[in-house]
Structure 1
């Protein structure tokens, strides 16, 4: 029953001479209820309210969690209304935190408070001038965009479920929003053409190639047709025929025409005015944007020159370790000749996609047998191993991870790349699995999202420095688990460590020092055993998503430093399984917050 002022007044008059207080307002009621909550309960309410509102604005986030309430939509991404809502939410959240006494929170809640506050401030900064105007007009490139994410998502092999009739209907509804989104991207690109903020000719050419590749497929060959090839058993023949017709029509009459509009616009209108220089240094406002992206990505107050020099130092150190392996296997040539040997010797190649797949299956079983020596708690979600689909493998990295659901009903997936198989070598397989699979991304993401005691933004959110830093750190656990006794496997992990060190040099080289694409590729080939195909894909990735590649090494160096600090200060009390639990059990923390947490844990153990 709602107590209106009119109702309260009538009750007061019935009391005749009894003195009455002023009528309560809705705001008074809210304040009274809030006063009865503890500071921790107030904080939890802020988190819960924000999460619920965020899921409505970002329905895909809900679907990836297995929450199907908004599964019939993609969201109004790229619109002014969407960005306005995100800004308002962040400002409202900061105001709500201001009403909470942080000093009265528990240690874990203080961590959550600090992370949430940092996230809101960073969101506001990214959605403000000049960074917003420099980013929103470049909505997609070959490494980032709905045009490559959505085909897998809607294929029947991705995160979108196809178990019920409603699932199939929701997918058709999402298709309509996807078409609108592609046209919306054209509008944002046109804004950039007017303001002089444009993508590179290289990234745009790659997007055109991606769209052409999909358009060459018939409707039946398209990943969008995939759900019609594996209907649930309870569908009638009439329903199967109806959905098959609707899915073919959506591809031929809606999606492919939208692809064509985007492809033709990029080819005929945008490509001629796209920029020649590959780095942000060559884009209007690019230097300022890159400085912001660095600090946002690594979650530390670092600058491009500092990171570049750390990278040069790490490249030199790792080269020294590689020389030791070269000597151990009695290779008589130089290190660059050893790189060439590893690139081309047939004994370091897999004969087929099937053999490569089986190789990763075998590595997974080996890791499963020893993982308990490093971890107290294992994820509930299983881990699947798959090659990339052929329609997207050319422009993907060597491997990646797609998270499962918190309840384990959808597994996590480790994807590996089998494109241009002769260019891929076997020594890096173990370390790639440790990074993308277990105990890398699969452990970090699954353990966090399975911890229902954490607020949703800590269970499901994160930052690249922690997430990728953990995955790179996880590669080094191969030493402690006895997985690198073979010198070539050990060289494989050094190669991957070298890749992350080179990224510090190359990413900053491209975006702050003006390196060309070719200069960056040559640097990577000279300092590693990478094939040209992989080196090219890596460099084009750095061009497409500036600063992201810096996070791996900076994050891993931070976690390793904290581990050595704990070992030194705790001595015999140090338990690596407890340390890993402390790093993982509160989700992906900014590195400054993680360091404070581990310092407090060390103090408590003393």
Structure 2
């Protein structure tokens, strides 16, 4: 899973998506770019960075590092609505026949971007459900506070920027409590099981020992260039903001969460239980899958895929000579000591790096373009490790900050390696790191498209790359291949349980049991995953829908091009335009096939 900050009001770039449109003839494009349209794209990008300066920081744009708007205020909501409404209207001044082919793509993307943002803002979810255990801005700020994420701490100005941002973040936290109190009255509350996972996160942050506080971490990492006077002054300022503002606010939220909010927590597990929940879920499906599929259609697709993958798993069970049932084999794999060989987190990190080295020679055969942005593997920070999944954080646009593959390792001795090869392909190379970095490095793309995230495309690509393992010299160990099947099964199960939870009245316990019955993940991991789907309806649907479409397009190209099919060029075609809706990707590949017949 690629991780980018979820803007509380606008759902941000990570959750923007695009509808499937009826195919139509593309107007003949001009060859010279329309300068006025390019300026519109630049202005749009600048405006979005100002609306969400956290995304600017993630992109390596440090101009807004001191800013943190109150995403929960009515003033912010009005400002955002006006922004997207105005840009949607401005597109009418640029007919397709006055734009280059690339600009036509940008126009289609921008049109849907504005539509989806405005539709998202028509619901109250973002304001009245501002905090959950996995996706929300308080967790991003915790990452930033560690001093090892996107927020820079290299100069005195950097430290002062963070102080300014913290002050505004404190205002947001106070607003979050007010909005959640409002949410209780209006029926917008998290399921109680999710609130129970949020409470410990705030309990840790409410502890009064300033020097041990997560948000004090940058003080322990002063650059050597700082003078003693600068260190002393900054230390005092950080101590003051923690003692006088942040810790008391965290404490107040902790008390509210564990008492009033938990008492009001929903017994239902799905989004259908809140006002307009059914309508919101259909919006979320379109948002994340970039299709007009219904919950029922996706649920049945998931059931079909689960059945198919179970058949493949049976073959592996026979290959390794296991004589029990497939469910017994799941339990065997979960607890097989040979698959838990490590005692220290560093050994697990080293194993991921060894996987990269093993497949490097084969990457040349499948990919003509490879990113310049550096890449590293890191252990997930302790403060969020218990409820986190493995994830990818993009590098900065200028390439100075590497892409980071985070893997949670709560207990190295219990870490099971059976899916590590597939996990690396998905989260790292050639999955998220290739797709995102190549997009960011593409000088032909306007800036706003370099940070857009269409989940069906981005997560679909990453899941598609898991199936490249054998072509990349991996999956020689049948347990690693079973791990790939397990991860694909995991995404197929998501189609069933996400729609089950949010559209068919499934309980959290039903979803957990369905997963336990059909995959080899540990119960603790499955519980974390199910609660993730509860917190962010629809997101989990995007992986399998996107993977199936990209695989379908590859098979179509192979069939129609025959000997002319070049896998390196196919991958280039998929990746070169950046993250786009599936309908636009399909139109692009169809055109490429026709041009090369």
TM-score, structure 2 length as denominator?
0.92
Alignment match, 1:285: 276
1:195-244 deviation per Cα after TM superposition (whole angstroms, max 9, x unaligned) = 22222111222111211133347322222222122211211122112222
1:352-388 deviation per Cα after TM superposition (whole angstroms, max 9, x unaligned) = 2222122112112223332222111111111110111
Q: 1:543 to 1:423 in 2, by over 3 A?
A: farther
The Cα of 1:423 is off from its aligned counterpart by 4.6
Counterparts of 1:71-110 in structure 2, within 5 Å, are 71-110=65-104
**Residues 367, 438 of structure 1: 8 Å contact kept:** no
- SS where residue 382 of structure 2 aligns? coil
Q: Distance in 2 between matches of 1:462 and 1:301?
A: 18
Alignment match, 1:325: 316
Q: Are positions 1:356 and 2:355 aligned together?
A: no
**Residues 312, 485 of structure 2: 8 Å contact kept:** yes
Q: Distance in 2 between matches of 1:146 and 1:59?
A: 12
1:468-521 deviation per Cα after TM superposition (whole angstroms, max 9, x unaligned) = 111111111112112112211111100000000000001111111111111111
**Residues 380, 407 of structure 1: 8 Å contact kept:** no
Larger Rg: 1 or 2? 1
The equivalent position to 1:384 in structure 2, one of 376, 387, 399, is: 376
The equivalent position to 1:174 in structure 2, one of 165, 171, 181, is: 165
- SS where residue 277 of structure 1 aligns? coil
Alignment match, 2:433: 442
1:236-291 deviation per Cα after TM superposition (whole angstroms, max 9, x unaligned) = 12211222222222223221111111112222322222211011122232111111
- Unmatched 5+ stretches in structure 2: 1-30
Q: Distance in 2 between matches of 1:493 and 1:151?
A: 32
Alignment match, 2:501: 510
Q: Distance in 1 between matches of 2:57 and 2:251?
A: 28
Q: Are positions 1:430 and 2:421 aligned together?
A: yes
Q: Which has the higher contact order (CA 8 A, sep 6+)?
A: 2
The Cα of 1:39 is off from its aligned counterpart by 6.7
The Cα of 1:134 is off from its aligned counterpart by 3.9
The equivalent position to 1:42 in structure 2, one of 36, 57, 62, is: 36
Alignment match, 2:48: 54
Q: 1:214 to 1:504 in 2, by over 3 A?
A: same
Q: Are positions 1:548 and 2:539 aligned together?
A: yes
**Residues 392, 432 of structure 2: 8 Å contact kept:** yes
**Residues 32, 100 of structure 2: 8 Å contact kept:** no
The equivalent position to 2:405 in structure 1, one of 407, 414, 435, is: 414
Q: Distance in 2 between matches of 1:373 and 1:253?
A: 58
**Residues 423, 531 of structure 1: 8 Å contact kept:** no
Q: Which moved more, 1:149-158 or 1:217-226?
A: 217-226
Q: Are positions 1:222 and 2:223 aligned together?
A: no
Number of residue equivalences: 566
Alignment match, 1:316: 307
- Unmatched 5+ stretches in structure 1: 1-36
Q: Distance in 1 between matches of 2:211 and 2:59?
A: 30
- Give the 4+ runs in structure 1 shifted more than 6 A: none
The Cα of 1:155 is off from its aligned counterpart by 1.7
Counterparts of 1:299-310 in structure 2, within 5 Å, are 299-310=290-301
- SS where residue 413 of structure 1 aligns? strand
1:406-440 deviation per Cα after TM superposition (whole angstroms, max 9, x unaligned) = 22110010001112445531110011111111111
The Cα of 1:346 is off from its aligned counterpart by 0.7
TM-score, structure 1 length as denominator?
0.91
Alignment match, 1:531: 522
**Residues 137, 191 of structure 1: 8 Å contact kept:** yes
**Residues 428, 493 of structure 1: 8 Å contact kept:** yes
**Residues 403, 411 of structure 1: 8 Å contact kept:** yes
Alignment match, 2:362: 370
**Residues 358, 473 of structure 2: 8 Å contact kept:** no
Alignment match, 2:489: 498
**Residues 211, 259 of structure 1: 8 Å contact kept:** yes
- SS where residue 447 of structure 1 aligns? helix
Q: 1:217 to 1:499 in 2, by over 3 A?
A: farther
Query: Root-mean-square deviation (CA), in Å?
Result: 1.6
- SS where residue 275 of structure 1 aligns? coil
Alignment match, 2:331: 340
Q: Which moved more, 1:41-50 or 1:376-385?
A: 41-50
1:86-125 deviation per Cα after TM superposition (whole angstroms, max 9, x unaligned) = 2112111121110111123222221111111111111111
